[in-house]
Amino acid sequence: MNSLPDFFAMDGHGAYVWSAYAITFVVLALNVLQPWLARQRLVSLHARRRRREEV
């Protein structure tokens, strides 16, 4: 591998390798984002309920 394009091509296997990395990254990002977004929704829901009960 003498050049950057050769590195990314990976002797013809680059499409498979880089798509596998991309899919892995997306799955890991979803594993982080989904619980965080669910927590945000839950906190928002409880805050609305608390405000409603105080009135």
User: Within its chain, how far is the Cα of 31 from the centroid?
Assistant: 6
Average of per-residue pLDDT values in the chain: 93
DSSP string, the chain: --SHHHHHHGGGTHHHHHHHHHHHHHHHHHHHHHHHHHHHHHHHHHHHHHHHHH-
pLDDT band at 54 (very low <50, low <70, confident <90, very high): confident
Q: What percent of the chain has pLDDT over 70?
A: 98
**Position 17 pLDDT exceeds 80:** yes
What's the predicted TM-score (pTM) here? 0.68
- Placement of tokens 């945000």 in the chain: 40
